[in-house]
Every structure is written in C-alpha cells, then in structure tokens.
Amino acid sequence: MNYDFHSRKAYIAGDGSYSACEDSITFDTDALTTKQWDIVDDLPDSMKMEYAIAILDGDDEFVAEVESEYE
C-alpha cells in the first residue's frame, strides 16, 4: 500500500495535536481495518508506527504476531 514517510518533520493536526522533529507516516485512513485501528489505539506509542508500516508494507508475519496479542 502507498504511504509517505516523513523524517524529522513538524506537523499540526486538525484536532490540535502537534509535534516537531518527529518521524511520521501519512496514508489513506481505509488502509487499516477497524480492528487494526483498535490495535493501534491499544499499542504502546513506540510500536504504533512500526505496526502501521508493517501493515502497509505487507509484512504479514509481523502483523500476525502483533495481532495475536490482541485477540
């Protein structure tokens, strides 16, 4: 799936959240299922981007490993 990786960029989101000098990714909302978004919500912050990139890159083994912890 298609996504953009941004290294050490700043952002301000519509909800008012913001950050500077952070890595981030942007992608279509529907690239993740409702279940996967729920898992993103529950994951530690340090794993959220890694999990999303694994989904977007088709790393089924890593995705299955993470998702098995949330079944």
pLDDT above 90 (res 71): no
- Say if residues 15 and 34 touch (Cβ distance below 8 Å): no
The CB-side HSE value for 20 (13 A sphere, CA atoms) comes to 0
Residue 24 main-chain phi, psi, to 5 deg: -150, 165
What confidence score (pLDDT) does residue 56 get? 98
Q: What is the pTM (predicted TM-score) of this model?
A: 0.88
pLDDT above 90 (res 1): no
- Tens digits of residue pLDDT in 11-68: 899 999 999 988 999 999 999 999 999 999 999 999 999 999 999 999 999 999 999 9
Report strand pairing: 4-12 vs 18-26.
antiparallel
